[in-house]
Amino acid sequence: MHGTPLAIGVDIGGTNLRVALVAGDGSLTARSSERIGTDPDAVVARIRDLCLGLRSSAVTAIGIGVPGRVDGIRRTVLSGGYVDLSSSRIVERVEDAVGLPVAIDNDCNMALVAEMAVGAARNRDDVVMFTIGTGIGGAVALGGRIVRGTATAGQLGHLTVSQGGEPCNCGRRGCVETTSSGTALGRHVREAGLPPETRVEDLIQAASRGDARCGEVLLRWVGPLRSAIDSMVAAVSPELVLLGGGLGGAAHRALAGAPAVSPWYRCPVGAAQLGDDAGVIGSGLAAARAAGADGGPAVSGKPAP
């Protein structure tokens, strides 16, 4: 049953923009999804118009999840992905147009807020999340709160898993994004001489039937991811590691072939539950909490008391 809408959630994905009214129980109404281009001004204008269309006396705030490096405390986009919003003044422009406070954060942080509130990490306080898609995003929560460090902690796609490995967009080499993202999986498929249209589901099914080549492709894909997971378990000892994003479920299944080697690093690893809705749900919940609509902390996965 839908509760009273508390906020507007906005999720800017790789090529899609999702917007919805988000109730306190995480349910969505008036939801929409559309493709977007790379012009930041056009994207901000479209967000403004969609938010104006959802504006009502019941809505207390707007939350926006953005790919890339975002300083959630200072509400500033520091670097962009498919759409570079770093110089767009998105927070000020949306606030001025709609007349509601705006909370902004990295899209993976927003997704983790949602999973901790109403998804696979509900009632967990210490959670690490990797989102696996075209690239790899990450988020960390300790004590029920998103960890940011001085600004943008949680860039887990840039954990080094291969010294001297493939070059990464961040300027270094051997980041887990270069080995275990969707883009990297395509490269592993090509290098193995498999048809370029081979899907990860095809690899998993073939490997389960004993196909050694497909099994090796999967191991090259998720073996480094296991190393990244182990590193995060060693660093923060979470209760749970979640794998989200479009390939999170497949990566979770494929990890069965790459278990933690050392008992030191054994930690439950699960698949995220909220799918494409995670970002928009988390954005709405985070915005409502930042506005004090539920009495909870600014961005926390913990439900309000």
Higher local confidence (pLDDT), 295 or 115: 115
Q: How far apart are CA 138 and CA 90, in angstroms?
A: 22
Domain ranges of the chain: 5-111+276-290, 122-272
Angstrom distance (rounded) from CA 184 to CA 177: 7
Among 278, 202, 266, 281, residue whose Cα is nearest residue 234: 266
Helices 200-208 + 212-236 axis angle, to 10: 110
Reported as a single tens digit per residue, the pLDDT across 174-218 is 999 999 999 999 999 999 999 999 999 999 999 999 999 999 999
Q: What is the pLDDT of residues 234-255, one digit of tens each?
A: 999 999 999 999 999 999 999 9
Is pLDDT of 5 > 90? no
> Looking at residue 4, what is its pLDDT?
66
- CATH number for the domain formed by residue range(s) 122-272: 3.30.420.40
Flag the least confident range among 31-35, 147-151, 176-180. 147-151
In this prediction, residue 293 carries a pLDDT of: 53
pLDDT of residue 292: 82
Say whether pLDDT at 14 is over 90: no
- DSSP readout, 110-154? HHHHHHHHHSTTTT-SSEEEEEESSSEEEEEEETTEE--TTTT--
Enter the tokens of residue 234.
């060693």
Q: Is 227 exposed, middle or buried (CB count within 10 Å of its CB: 0-12, 13-18, 19+)?
A: buried
3-state helix, strand, coil in the chain (%, to 5): 40, 20, 40
CATH topology of domain 5-111+276-290: Nucleotidyltransferase; domain 5 (3.30.420)
